Amino acid sequence: MRLAGAALVTGVASPALAKTGQTNIRSLALSNLHTGESRSFDYWVEGAYVPDALTAADHLLRDYRNNEVHTIEPKLLDLVCLLQRQLGSASEVQVISGYRSPATNAAMHEQSNGVAAHSLHMKGMAMDIRLADVPLDRLHNAALVLQAGGVGYYPSQDFVHVDVGRVRRW
């Protein structure tokens, strides 16, 4: 199932990554700030997503509140990889939130109107991130320029939300 989905999204994110001149390997180093877990992996090699690496990303980006794992959309990994490359960041991508289960999202929505009731986090299509070596406003502006999905700016909470849904900003 994952391989079929990966084949469908390959053409969607590849043109943007092709501009970086590095299309044969796509790598990420992610750090989940809530679990303390870090993992580096090549998730795209020679024209194909690497199933074991995608599984590792799914696990690292799980809902840390209940350990529920969900498939992460490979286009989201492509987006984060592209942002990191364009910004020249050498640091791990610090993940504040990846996947959120419907129960977690509902509880968060009850506590804050800043959490969407139908958040793309519940579909594995969104991440809240920061890069230690890139100012938050630069990360935010770079994400906006890409116009690859939704971008939310949360300077008081020190993260930028990126997703691969429709293009919008807040």
Looking at the structure of the chain, the number of domains it has is 1
Contacts of 65 (CB under 8 A, 6+ apart): 101, 104
Pairing of strands 48-49, 93-97: unpaired
Q: Could you tell me the CATH number of the domain that includes residue 118?
A: 3.30.1380.10
Tell whether the model's pLDDT for residue 45 goes beyond 50.
Answer: yes
Structure confidence by residue, pLDDT tens digits, 91-110: 999 999 999 999 999 998 88
C-beta of residue 125 within 8 angstroms of C-beta of residue 73 = yes
- In which domain, by residue range, is 106 found? 2-169
Structure confidence by residue, pLDDT tens digits, 127-149: 999 999 999 999 999 999 999 99
